[in-house]
Amino acid sequence: MERILYAGDSTVAFNKINTYPQTGMSQALPLYLKDDIQVLSFAKNGRSTKSFIAEGRLAAIERELKEGDYLFVQFGHNDAKPDEARHTDPATDFKENLLTFAKAAQDHGAKAVFITPIARRLFDEKGRFKKGSHGAYPTAMKEAAAKAGVPVVDLTAVTEQYLAGVGELWSRPLFVWPKDNTHLKYEGAVMMAGFLARGLRALGEPYSSLLAEEKEGE
């Protein structure tokens, strides 16, 4: 059985009833995968690359990683937070932390995939979508991926384009709106995981082999 070990924050995390209706992408991703692919979610709300590593969460992944596994790494929402426990500089330690994830995968014979953070649902007073909510972090992740020789799925670009297209009103059901514009509901998690699946298919083998067959006509 092939396995995906998924590291990330609240947009990825597997939620229980105490955080309902919040839903993470790791809950929805299996909808797009072959039946024999297992997803192990190590994502945790509020974590950045820095706090994830400091709390021993990457170490927990390393204890589980086996040859042939996939390590999905999706961060960016919390690395920009100002507190010392989470903040990273996109030009320096954010990249260094991502390289640490890539090395962990390499050391265990696993394949890392970097995934840029999904866009926040932000619109101005005229209903126009506001791009760039993650600043330099998506670009930094792509640069780290190039350095590590790791494939990257640019969900930031895809989700910014999508939210700009559907607009303020029709994007509401995807997020825990009006409470916030970051966390996803089930419908949003399914949508975002679908974008990830599309990105994995575009990467080709072996990543595309994780996915269930597309419906006829797609």
Query: Would residue 218 count as lying in a domain?
Result: no
What's the predicted TM-score (pTM) here? 0.96
Asked if residue 215 belongs to a domain, the reply is: no
58: containing domain: 2-210
Instruction: Summarize pLDDT for 53-101 with one digit per residue, the tens.
Output: 999 999 999 999 999 999 999 999 999 999 999 999 999 999 999 999 9
pLDDT confidence of 216, banded at 50, 70, 90? low
Q: What is the 3-state secondary structure (H, E, C) of the chain?
A: CEEEEEEECCCCCCCCHHHCCCCCHHHHHHHHECCCEEEEECCCCCCCHHHHHHCCHHHHHHHHCCCCCEEEEECCCCCCCCCCCCCCCCCCHHHHHHHHHHHHHHHCCCEEEEECCCCCCCECCCCCECCCCCCCHHHHHHHHHHHHCCCEECHHHHHHHHHHHHHHHHHHHHECCCCCCCCECHHHHHHHHHHHHHHHHHHCCCHHHHECCCCCCC
Q: Please check whether residue 22 lies inside any domain of the structure.
A: yes
CATH of the domain at 13: 3.40.50.1110
As a whole number, the mean pLDDT across the chain is 96
Indicate whether 217 belongs to any domain. no
Q: What percentage of the chain carries pLDDT values higher than 90?
A: 97
Give a yes or no: residue 216 inside a domain.
no
Domain count, the chain: 1
pLDDT at 214 over 90: no
